[in-house]
Amino acid sequence: MATTKAKIGFVGLGHMGGNMAARFLAAGYTVYGESRDRDEADDLVHQGLVWRDTPREVAEAADVLITSVPNDDVLESVASGSDGILAGLTESKIWIDMSTVSPRASRQVAKRVQDQGAAMLDAPVSGSVPQVQTGTLTIMVGGDEQAYTKVEPILRELGTPTHIGENGQGLVLKLAINISLAVQMLAFAEGLVLAERSGIDPKLAVEVMTGSPIGSPMLKARADLVLDLPDEAWFDVSLMQKDVALALDTGRELHIPLPSAATADQLLTLASALGYEHRDLAALYEVLAHLTSDPQPT
């Protein structure tokens, strides 16, 4: 599939999908798009995105369709019905779903796509808006290898893709990674609260901790966010909890205990209860600080 001629379609133009569409527009692709909120596409339309009113119309117009939606229910919604993606797919088209949804739901939709003679790949990503903007996402792809080979150059506009295996396996690996992201952030927050309560300057603690062997790329990238939580999240608590919950569900299906994921899930639940649902994952520091703000006498 010649990347210079491929027409790209996007269903879902939120933080991730919108920034992905912008990269393809900047690279000279013809890009069609649709989203539940028309207003969030205005800037993209000014950049050259061609608006379409339904997922079906995007699928009909594009050679390669990319979706970025929040959960299983929305995936089913954009796939089905007379205005859904499946109604617009033909045998020559490839659908790349870059959402993080359950492997089970993804496989079910992929089977319906395959029955129509088209191909669907699950291609969740590791990284957030900054990595989209710099084209440095890690992309894990599940599905037909021939379809993957055709769209690999397109995916390289967004980062580094790797074919993992059959449908759903890209998603399983993404969930495995996000367990570590949640647990790393929680452990970092625990350590920082411990240091601060002992009288150590928290800015100094963050600097030393992220410069030490525990300073993963994710922690280094979020270092400034921990002590100065931004209004606009890179990856919010609710989305992380959704992914951790999907990992726990997958673990139950495979009869695998995931104790650290279960602990992270509890703290993410607390974060939502305290009003941090739509704040960045770095908010776990403030959540733990809140828990320790009124020490009990001993």
| Catalytic residue list | 174
**Among 82, 84, 71, 73, residue whose Cα is nearest residue 11:** 84
Q: What is the chain's length?
A: 298
Nearest to 251 by CA among 143, 175, 165, 200: 175
Q: What is the dihedral of CA 168, 164, 121, 10, to 10 degrees?
A: 110
Q: How far is CA 171 from CA 3, 45, 195, in A?
A: 25, 30, 36
Name the maximum alpha-carbon separation found in the chain.
Answer: 71
- 30/24 Cα distance (integer angstroms): 8
Sorted by sequence, the CB contacts under 8 Å of residue 227 that are 6+ apart come out as: 202, 203, 206, 285
Separation of alpha carbons 15 and 263, rounded Å: 28
Least Cα distance to 237 among 210, 277, 201, 184 occurs for: 277
- The string of DSSP letters for 110-143 reads HHHHHHTT-EEEE--EE--HHHHHHT-EEEEEES
For residue 189, how many C-alpha atoms fall within 13 Å in the half-sphere facing its CB? 27
